[in-house]
Structure 1
Amino acid sequence: MGNSEIAPTALAAQVERVLAEWRVARPDLDPTPFRLFSALAIAGRQVQEFYDASTAQHGLSGPDFFLLAELRRRGEPFQATPGELTQVLVRSSGGTTKLLDRLVAVGHITRVANPDDRRSTLVQLTDNGRRLIDVALQDHLAAEATLLQDLDPADTSLVIDLLWALTSRLRAWTRPD
């Protein structure tokens, strides 16, 4: 049974068992940080599964959705360079190229000449892609709102602030200047 098939309370209990085992195996170490990082890793996987499930009803993967949404967010003429998309979507250039090729093939985006740089192209949302992302975005945001509706807004804000603080520390750790 994969972790996504285990109830959250069972996952939390599993993490607590692992912590207890580490306390026995290495009593000289404090494994307490594992609790937070395990919860974050599990939540991250669940968020990805949520994005994939939410967007699949529209024939999109999570990455497809984010790329189309990024173009839509930019407003008319719904364009960006592949490099801009790579940066915003936090993907490799190769991963972005594969994603672009797939979305061109199904008619959601097109590549057009860049009038500011003849050596490059722009990625543009097609009318079909715009209609699709408008509906998918509306449905996705409704699903997110449903998931958050019973949470206290102050708690939600605190979680966001804490996650950004941890993200900053993680970036400093993994990308020292």
Structure 2
Amino acid sequence: MEDTADRHVDVWARELEHVDPVAEAIFARLAILARYQTQLRRDVLAEGGLQHWQFKVLLMLRRNGPPYTASPSQLADLLGLTRGALSARLAAIEDAGWIVREADARDRRRVHVRLTDAGNDTLMRHIGGEGNGERTLLAGLTARERKNLANLLRKMVLAAEGEA
């Protein structure tokens, strides 16, 4: 059975004799899967009227665990944003009812951003939609193959992170 990556490798192996066909096939397939997953995420988010940056804010709040709060500076650091950029984004998310900004009970100068029930429901719907696509991609693999693939990819990530 031949896939797009096989055809890609065939072309470049003929054109460039130094191309390692196995390495080229691996990275071509990783790129194809990354594009598929990116498009799936865009589609799932668009269906629910959520933009990627809004999803990321909700995700970071959920990631913190109950009660799903963070200070604006913590959120900005997690998202790699300036405080000003985050503040502009929070306003739109707050208007949608997905978060609230609350003054700290002990220090009114401090603010906490909290994920609302509506924000959590929105986030979970989108995570579920992405999960469906991921399950479709992994359906052709046995549980053992999925575990082996995850372990092999971990080795690659560790190698990449070690060189960073």
User: What is the match of residue 19 of structure 1?
Assistant: 13
User: What is the match of residue 127 of structure 2?
Assistant: 137
Provide the rounded CA distance (Å) in 1 between the counterparts of 2:30 and 2:91: 32
Task: Return the offset for 1:94.
Answer: 4.0
Change (3 A) 1:154 1:117: farther
Q: CA RMSD in A?
A: 3.2
Q: Secondary structure at the match of 2:8?
A: helix
> Is it true that 1:92 corresponds to 2:92 in the alignment?
no
Instruction: Give % identity.
Output: 25
Counting matched residue pairs gives 160
TM-score normalised by structure 2 residue count = 0.73
| 1:123-170, Cα deviation, whole Å (9 max, x unpaired) | 211232123223333343344334433421111111111111111111
User: What is the match of residue 111 of structure 1?
Assistant: 101
Q: Secondary structure at the match of 1:165?
A: helix
TM-score normalised by structure 1 residue count = 0.68
| 1:133-172 superposed matches below 5 A | 133-172=123-162
Change (3 A) 1:154 1:118: farther
Letter in 2 for 1:126: T
- The answer to whether the 8 Å contact 1:112/1:123 transfers is yes
Gaps of 5+ in 2: none
